[in-house]
Structure 1
Amino acid sequence: MRYMLIVKATKQSEAGVKPNRQLMDEMASFNESLTEAGVLLAAEGLQPSSSGLRITYSEYGEKPNVVVGPFAEVKGIIAGYTLIDVKSEEEAIAFAMRMPNPAYGGEGEIELRLLLEDTNLLQGSRMMALEADLRDQIDILNKS
C-alpha cells in the first residue's frame, strides 16, 4: 500500500525561508529510518508557489484558466511530500507520526493519503487512446 505524506506549506516556506539545520538533520534522520525500513519510495521538497502556476477548469470543454503564483492563501499549498510503501494503514500512520514538524517549530501540518492502486487507470488511458485512433481511422475510411 502506497501512502503519501503531504507536507503543507507555511508562511515561512512560501517566503522561501529554508528550514534550519536542526530540522534538516531531523528530516535526514527520518528519511534514513524509512530507507532502513525499506519503505521509502521518494521524498522531495517543493519551491514556493511563487515559482509555480495554477490551472483551473470551469466547465467541461472550456479553456482552462492559468494563474501565476504566488498564491494569496497558504492553506492548501503543498511544500513537500514523502512517498512510502507499507503493509497497512497502521504502519503508515506510525511512520507519519514520527515525521518531524515541518513548520520550523511552529504549527505544522502533514496530510497522510493512500494512493490509488488501480492499475486500470493507466491501462484505461491507453485503451482510450487506442480507441480514439481507431475512430479517427474509421472516420478517414468513411470520408474516402
Structure 2
Amino acid sequence: MRFMIIVKATADSEAGKMPSTELLTAMGKFNEELVNAGVLLAGEGLHPSSRGARIRYDGASRTVIDGPFSETKELIAGFWLIQVKSKEEAIEWMKRCPNPFDGPSEIEIRQVFEMSDFGEAATPELVAQEESLRARL
C-alpha cells in the first residue's frame, strides 16, 4: 500500500523560514531510516505558495491564480510517498518523524489509489496503460 504523507504548511513555512541545521540533520537521519527499510518512494519539501500557482478548472475553461494563497491550513509544505503494509505501519513510521517545524505542526497520512480500487471502471486497457507508464518511470 502506498501512502502520501502531507506536511501541512505553517505561517513560518509560508514566510519562507528555512529549517535549522539541526532539523535538516534529524530529517536526513529519518529519511535514511525510511530508505534503509525500503519504504521511501519519494519525499520533498516545497517552496512557499508565493512561488506557486493554482489552475482552476470549469468545464473547458482554465484560470491561473498566482500565489500566495491565504488559507495556510489548506497548504502543504512537503511530502513523503511511502510503501508499507498498512495504514498502521504508516502511522508508526510517521510517529518517529522529527517535528517538521520549530513550533506546532501537523502531517496528514492518505492512502494512494491503486488501479484495483477503481473496480470495473479500470478496464483491461486502462490497467495495461497504467502498468506501461509505471514501467517507464
Asked if Structure 1 and Structure 2 have the same fold, meaning a TM-score greater than 0.5 normalized by the shorter chain, the answer is yes
Unmatched 5+ residue regions in structure 1?
A: 127-144
Number of the residue aligned with 2:115: 118
Measure the CA separation in 1 of the matches of 2:108 and 2:95: 11
Number of matched residues? 124
CA deviations on 1:60-119 (whole Å, 9 max, x unpaired) are 34x122110011121111110011111111111100111111122x11010000000116
Instruction: Check if 1:40 corresponds to 2:40.
Output: yes
AA aligned to 1:84 is I
Counterpart position of 1:107: 104
Amino acid at match of 2:95: M
Equivalent residue number for residue 5 of structure 1:
5
Structure 1: which 4+ aligned runs deviate by more than 6 Å? none
Question: Matched residues, percent identical?
Answer: 52
Amino acid at match of 2:113: L
**What's the TM-score, normalizing by structure 2?**
0.82
Query: Aligned partners of 1:75 and 1:44: how far apart in 2?
Result: 19
Q: Which has a greater percent of strand?
A: 2
What's the counterpart of residue 87 of structure 2?
A: 89
1:57 alignment partner, SS class: strand
Q: For 1:25-64, what aligned pairs fall within 5 Å after superposition?
A: 25-58=25-58, 60-61=59-60, 63-64=61-62
C-alpha deviation, 1:36, in angstroms: 1.1
SS in 2 for 1:93: helix
Letter in 1 for 2:126: Q
| Residue matched to 1:131 | none
Amino acid aligned to 2:35: T
CA distance in 2, matches of 1:103, 1:56: 30
What is the CA–CA distance in structure 2 between the aligned matches of 1:40 and 1:71, rounded to whole Å?
Answer: 29
TM-score, normalised to structure 1, is 0.78
The whole-number CA distance in structure 1 between the counterparts of 2:86 and 2:71 is 34
**Deviation of 1:20 (Å):** 0.9
Query: Radius of gyration: which is bigger?
Result: 1
CA distance in 1, matches of 2:55, 2:98: 31
